[in-house]
């Protein structure tokens, strides 16, 4: 175990003091900020998400705001998904690809107005990408990182907690839709979203000075449901088949390889970045796909620090991109990014730290 050094270059979150008060023990970094990764009891934090309600500092989900007359055009150029029917108050999960069709980010796009969008991004400097495209195409749009810091409330009891704070109207919110509101003078956008499959909401705090206030409001409101602190849960997200762009993808992964085909529209305009490449990739057929791996053995393995080669019949067919002990399956599981000929049911071997671990492929999600 190593400590993480304080640094001006790696910013704390508006919820930092609240998470310290809640007993945070470990962090990772993401979008040049610190993100809590544990409060000392991984298994309890996992079951709280599965059975109750968990409160997460996900301020690292930074927003890239597109504002101005060409904001809508730019949003469509960046996202390989038809946004024509997306209305104000709606969010869409989108693939950002580069010109060769490689997936570079998978944000939620939130439409706040006809001329204002947020891209709630995974870990990468998409602001430079968006600015380069906008400037090179001479679009009239301002691209900034606004003062917006999401907190997630996740788990089967999340709706009750969020409704108790904001009112029963939140129960009517459709998935990825959101509404701007405020609580005790704190401006927030309430969205039905979050990086788990247990249901829940993300509260987009729009005033970074009020992080502790918002955290405490949710914590107090959640007491009847025994809310507690947590974070995007490595185990649950793997069980649920959620892709981590930058972790499960490499520098040549296209969206079709990681289960994002249903979020790609090939019939949109030719000025959408990567669309021609995505059409070519579709025509040629994908070479790899993401699939589940269940390893043999009934003891948790150490967390991997790198991708691990996957062999079938002694030949390398791809990589295991993550690995975690599943509390629900009582097995070590993970994703394989493997050749398309390698399918569920296949017996494989994973090379981990110089040893061979046997396993079997299966469909995603696990749970």
What residue ranges bind a copy of itself (CB under 8 A)?
1-12, 24-30, 32, 37-38, 98-99, 104, 123-126, 128-129, 131-133, 135-137, 144-145, 244, 246-248, 251, 273, 303-307, 321-322
Q: How far is CA 26 from CA 58, 230, 314, in A?
A: 14, 11, 39
Q: Give me the least distance between CB of 345 and a copy of itself, in Å please.
A: 26
Q: In the bound complex, what is the minimum distance in angstroms from residue 63's beta carbon to a copy of itself?
A: 13
Place of tokens 């110089």: 354
Nearest-approach distance from CB 303 to a copy of itself, in angstroms: 5
Are 276 and 268 in contact, with CB atoms under 8 Å apart?
A: no
**Contact status, residue 124 vs residue 105, Cβ threshold 8 Å:** yes
Q: Which is nearer to a copy of itself, 133 or 217 (CB)?
A: 133
* Cβ nearer to a copy of itself, comparing 137 with 179: 137
Tokens representing residue 17 in the block? 């003091």
Contact 310, 350 (CB under 8 A): yes
Q: Which is nearer to a copy of itself, 88 or 252 (by Cβ)? A: 252
Q: Which is nearer to a copy of itself, 11 or 287 (CB)?
A: 11
Contact status, residue 168 vs residue 74, Cβ threshold 8 Å: no
Report the nearest approach of a copy of itself to the CB of residue 148 (Å).
Answer: 14
Q: Closest distance between a copy of itself and the C-beta of residue 325, in Å?
A: 14
Which is nearer to a copy of itself, 104 or 293 (by Cβ)?
104
Q: Which is nearer to a copy of itself, 129 or 366 (CB)?
A: 129
Of 187 and 246, CB closest to a copy of itself: 246
CA 36 – CA 85 distance, rounded (Å): 36
Closest separation between CB of residue 223 and a copy of itself, Å?
26
DSSP code string of 241-283? T---TTTT--TT--GGGGT-GGG--TTS-TTSTTHHHHHHHHH
Residues 6+ apart with CB under 8 A from 53: 153, 154, 155, 156, 157, 158, 160, 161, 200, 222, 225, 226, 227
**Smallest gap from residue 254 Cβ to a copy of itself (A):** 15
């Amino acid at each position: 175990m190593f400590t993480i050094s304080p640094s001006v270059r790696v910013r704390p979150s508006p919820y930092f003091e609240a998470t310290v008060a809640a007993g945070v023990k470990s962090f990772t970094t993401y979008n040049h900020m610190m993100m809590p990764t544990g409060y000392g009891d991984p298994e309890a934090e996992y079951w709280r998400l599965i059975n109750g309600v968990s409160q997460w500092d996900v301020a690292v989900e930074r927003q890239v705001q597109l504002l101005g007359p060409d904001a809508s055009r730019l949003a469509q150029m960046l996202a390989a998904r038809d946004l024509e029917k997306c209305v104000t108050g709606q969010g869409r999960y989108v693939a950002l690809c580069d010109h060769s069709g490689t997936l570079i980010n998978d944000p939620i796009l939130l439409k706040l107005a006809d001329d204002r969008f947020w891209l709630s991004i995974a870990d990468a400097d998409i602001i430079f990408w968006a600015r380069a495209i906008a400037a090179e195409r001479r679009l009239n749009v301002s691209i900034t990182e606004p003062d917006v810091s999401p907190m997630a409330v996740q788990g089967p009891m999340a709706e009750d907690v969020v409704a108790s704070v904001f009112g029963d109207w939140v129960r009517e919110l459709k998935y990825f839709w959101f509404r701007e509101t405020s609580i005790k003078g704190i401006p927030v956008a309430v969205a039905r979203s979050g990086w788990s499959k247990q249901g829940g909401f993300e509260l987009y705090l729009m005033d970074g000075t009020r992080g502790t206030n918002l955290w405490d409001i949710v914590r107090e409101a959640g007491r009847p449901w025994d809310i507690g602190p947590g974070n995007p849960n490595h185990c649950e997200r793997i069980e649920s088949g959620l892709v981590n762009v930058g972790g499960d993808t490499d520098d040549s992964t296209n969206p079709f390889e990681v289960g994002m085909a249903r979020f790609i529209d090939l019939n949109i305009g030719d000025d959408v970045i990567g669309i021609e490449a995505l059409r070519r990739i579709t025509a040629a057929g994908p070479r790899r796909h993401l699939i589940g791996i269940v390893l043999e053995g009934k003891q948790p393995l150490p967390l991997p620090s790198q991708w691990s080669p996957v062999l079938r019949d002694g030949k390398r067919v791809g990589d295991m991109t993550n690995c975690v002990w599943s509390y629900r399956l009582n097995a070590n599981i993970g994703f394989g990014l493997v050749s398309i000929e390698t399918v569920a049911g296949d017996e494989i071997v994973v090379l981990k730290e110089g040893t061979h671990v046997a396993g079997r492929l299966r469909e995603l999600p696990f749970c």
